[in-house]
Amino acid sequence: MGRWIGSLLLLAAILLSPDAARTAEPLLFFVAMDGNNAADCRSQATACRTAQGAIDKIPLGSIANVMFAPGNYPDPINILYYRFVALWGDCKDRASVVLRVDIRQAIIWVQDHAVATINCLTLEATAEGATGIAARQFSIADYSAVRFGQFPAGTHVHATEMGKINCINREGEEPGIEIFGDASRHGNATDGSTLSLNCDVSIIGSRKFDYFLTANVQSIIRADGL
């Protein structure tokens, strides 16, 4: 608990600094299949090609929304170092934005005191052993209105090294998440981490899991949504 409090105090110091005050309003970035990471990514006309291209432009301690145009994005995402980032697909059509990986890695990493929300999109993997959303080192990742496709021998969400991942219901969005592909696990928590499923879960068709949820090494799972 003391380490969490220390992290929060340090984060508060960053957010209350004069530089942070100038960026108190959420920044807006855009990503499109025909974008260019050399652009400023601040409008639909000057969108980035990848989410990472936009995230790398977010100043330390800032809050930002990253908006995806429809498309299939095969690029991993890494959010780190005291940034608050919300990733947005299309809440009217969660299938229109697909984030995927073709090698064994996480689609979205949230690390080193970062906070992220993942909203209204689809995650899937073609490679065995991949992960959808991962959080570590005192980071927090919330996911809602997310569709999970195939993750062969993989895991949808993974919290490790004191990370925290929460599934939440968005107001007016039913269900909270949809699962339409097989996976080894939906969620895993390890090394003092927490995984909370406070959302409605819809499993479409007959899906195979080795285990739906697992926890070890002083970790906690809360599954009020099941």
pLDDT confidence of 217, banded at 50, 70, 90? confident
What fold, for 25-222? Pectate Lyase C-like (2.160.20)
Antiparallel, parallel or unpaired: β 71-73 and 213-215: unpaired
For the segment 107-141, what is each residue's pLDDT rounded down to a tens digit?
999 999 999 999 999 999 999 999 999 999 999 99
Report d(CA 108, CA 157) in Å as an integer.
Answer: 9
Mean pLDDT (the chain, rounded): 88
Q: What pLDDT score was predicted for residue 172? A: 65
Q: φ and ψ at 140, to 5 degrees?
A: -130, 135
Report d(CA 144, CA 165) in Å as an integer.
Answer: 11
Average pLDDT for 45-52: 97
For the segment 145-168, what is each residue's pLDDT rounded down to a tens digit?
999 999 999 999 999 999 999 998
Q: Reduced to 3 states, what is the DSSP secondary structure of residue 90?
A: coil
Q: Tokens 């969400």 identify what position? A: 157
Q: What pLDDT score was predicted for residue 126? A: 94
What dihedral do alpha carbons 61, 42, 79, 108 form, nearest 10°? 150
Q: Tokens 């002083």 identify what position? A: 218
For the segment 60-112, what is each residue's pLDDT rounded down to a tens digit?
889 999 999 999 999 999 999 889 999 999 999 999 999 999 999 999 999 99
Domain segments of the chain: what residues? 25-222
For the segment 193-202, what is each residue's pLDDT rounded down to a tens digit?
999 988 888 8
Q: What pLDDT score was predicted for residue 222? A: 87
Q: What pLDDT score was predicted for residue 179? A: 95
Share above pLDDT 90 across residues of the chain, in percent, rounded to a whole number = 74
Q: Is the confidence at residue 2, as pLDDT, over 50?
A: no
Angle CA 66–133–31, to nearest 5: 20
Report d(CA 173, CA 188) in Å as an integer.
Answer: 25
For the segment 6-36, what is each residue's pLDDT rounded down to a tens digit?
444 444 444 444 444 444 689 999 999 999 9
Beta bridge partners of 179: 148, 203
Contact 199, 144 (CB under 8 A): yes
Instruction: Write the DSSP symbol of residue 48.
Output: B
Q: Find all residues with CB under 8 Å of 120, minimum gap 6, and list them.
A: 88, 89, 90, 91, 94, 97, 144, 145, 146, 170, 173
Report d(CA 60, CA 17) in Å as an integer.
Answer: 11
Average pLDDT for 45-49: 97
Report d(CA 164, CA 153) in Å as an integer.
Answer: 22
The sign of the CA dihedral 95, 86, 101, 210 is negative
